[in-house]
Structure 1
Amino acid sequence: MTSNRSRPRRKFRRLFKRNVYKEAVMALYIVADECISCGDCEPVCPTNSITEGKIVFEIDKKTCTECEGDFDKPQCVRVCPVDNCILPLPA
């Protein structure tokens, strides 16, 4: 006797995996209106995620780890002379 039970389970597993295994983006970004393009952040980044953009510096969200595993606080935030210039990406 054939059961249709396997189809709903497969569908449920796919939906479950889509909802649970989404990767959380852990990265910072530079507020363009606040950045003075001093360049202090670029050399201190342990993952080399900060590069000079056309107008201001930019952080690559694919490689930025917020210095987790290397430092207690993101180094770019520590050396930036402007308050609230480098912020976490919104969830």
Structure 2
Amino acid sequence: MIDTAVRRLLQSIPVLIGVLILGFLLIQLSPGDPARVFAGAMAPPEVVEQIREQMGLDRPMLVQFWPYLERVLQGDLGRSFISNKTVASELGRPLFRRSS
């Protein structure tokens, strides 16, 4: 029983790594500029570039992956651009909502 559980956990590691890579690539390849969204439509280009540097978006994709991986492993999924709340709390809200 324990052997089966350990084997299943070890088999899930490549799947989790694949999901992390796929999620990162989908974020990177999605249309739009996160720095532009964060700064606002009327922000001057200098402000957008400054935000891009602060967010690390000016670095190559492979360099951006490692901090992303570290944050995800620590449970930090970032902040929502829409509500400015943590993504983890946004994802957990429907799970822990009390039914009336």
Fold shared by both chains (TM-score > 0.5)? no
> Larger % of helix: which?
2
Larger Rg: 1
* More strand by percentage: 1
What is the TM-score when the length of structure 2 is the normalising length?
0.28
Which structure is richer in relative contact order (CA contacts within 8 A, separation 6 or more)? 1
